[in-house]
Amino acid sequence: MLVTRRTFVTAPAALSTRWARSGQPVAVIGSARADADTQGRGRATPPPAPILALKPLPNPPPPITDDERRARVAKAQRLMIDQGIGAIVLKGGTSLSYFVNVRWRLSERPFLLVIPAQGDLAYVSPGFEEQRAREVIKFSNDVRVWQEDFTQPSPAIDRPFAQPESPIAV
């Protein structure tokens, strides 16, 4: 079954109309056009046979453990020392998830993870997101906050992340 933008957008309207007429909760199984397919009989179109034939994967991979993520950070730190890099700066997205399992949506106000070549991880967060940051971070309690309205350099960078002469990878 192909779901188009049109069927994705119109399905909720059709369902709410049906619910308003009947006063009963409505569930759609299968297509977004189930309301039209039932011709008012109150039955939804069943999913196609290939969907019904799907079986769960026999051996799903095990979840990634915190120890494995710590090992990833340690390996990155080893490689940074070998290459003469002082730190890596990562923004929200798959890299953040890969190293520390923190899910943070991309925004115009960056939330960053700094992995120094030596030492503990540090997070850089917008001031208004500090509480949320402290709830979701792992492997460090170092959250450095920046405020949007600062005209001077932010206190978030008062303490260096790496040696001054070392390059930082972004």
Q: Domain extents for the chain?
A: 5-52, 66-169
76 token code pair: 């990155």
On the question of pLDDT at 59 being above 80, the answer is yes
CA distance 33 to 7: 7
On the question of pLDDT at 30 being above 50, the answer is no
On the question of pLDDT at 42 being above 60, the answer is no
The DSSP annotation for 55-120 comes to ---SSPPPPPPHHHHHHHHHHHHHHHHHHT--EEEEETTHHHHHHH-------SS--EEEEESSS-
On the question of pLDDT at 70 being above 90, the answer is yes
pLDDT digits (tens, 9 = 90+) for 129-149: 889 999 999 899 889 888 877
Region 1-23: mean pLDDT is 61
pTM above 0.75, yes or no: no
Region 29-52: mean pLDDT is 63
On the question of pLDDT at 93 being above 60, the answer is yes
66-169, CATH topology level:
Creatine Amidinohydrolase; Chain A, domain 1 (3.40.350)
